[in-house]
Structure 1
Amino acid sequence: MTIREAEAQWQGSLKEGSGRLRLGSGVFEGAYSFPSRFENGPGTNPEELIAAAHAGCFSMALSAILGREGHTPAHIHTIAKAHLGASAAGPTLTRIELETEASVAGLAAADFERLAQTAKESCLVSRALAGVGVITLSARLIETATDH
């Protein structure tokens, strides 16, 4: 079993305090605060990191699924938008929108959309975020020359 780790440090009150988030690999460390999380202040926030994880996981899942179908993508670009809203329990991720485009030779648009949907449903992070009310997907195949 693989274990991934990250850490957070927080100092001070909720609204006036600040903290730092650090990935266990050390490749990212950044500041976060009430304004960076609930307003548009500088720094990162947990929801942005969730969106990054979702975009990365989805892109890899889509590449794997395309490969199983005999297609190697030239590139896949995915944006994940995590919507932070309110619920009776408090602040809540209410929606995640995945937008992806890929360049894949010799693949029909309808087949790409079907495979992208499969990737959305099977991606590890999508499954981990099943408690989020809605996860949408917009998939666009970029026209490429067919294989000869």
Structure 2
Amino acid sequence: MKKRCFLLLLVLVLALSLSAFAATVEYPRFSIEVPDGWRVSQDGSTVTIMANDKSAALTVTVEDNDGTAIKDLAYAYAQQLNATEPEEDGDVYMFGFQNPSGVECNAVLCGDDSEYIMLVMIGDHPQMEGMIDSIEEK
């Protein structure tokens, strides 16, 4: 189930970035390749990777969901973020919103009844696609 979720996330990526990657960063539940010129920080179960020029960021959250259905989680997050109604593609839910600074954000949420992953793409940057493609579940 989890591998299918990650596979669907990867299908959402239309093209690979040709940018150089500085390092693969390891976390307990996933790893990600971070390009040169991006900073990484972690706050609890959320990892944020931000371009040095602050033009874009990617957050990756992996958490236990205590048996809550993914659909219910998607709708709860969308409501909390004042987002568009989630669009469903199999077990993957996508919605858009604006952050407090007015920047367009897109979220993708998938998982199962025990764990979920949510990616939030903040802004737009050509290296974002390569990072998303590099995410490996552990």
Q: Same fold (TM over 0.5)?
A: no
TM-score by length of 1: 0.31
Q: So what's the TM-score if we normalise by structure 2?
A: 0.32
Larger radius of gyration: 1
Compare the two structures and name the one with the higher strand fraction. Answer: 2
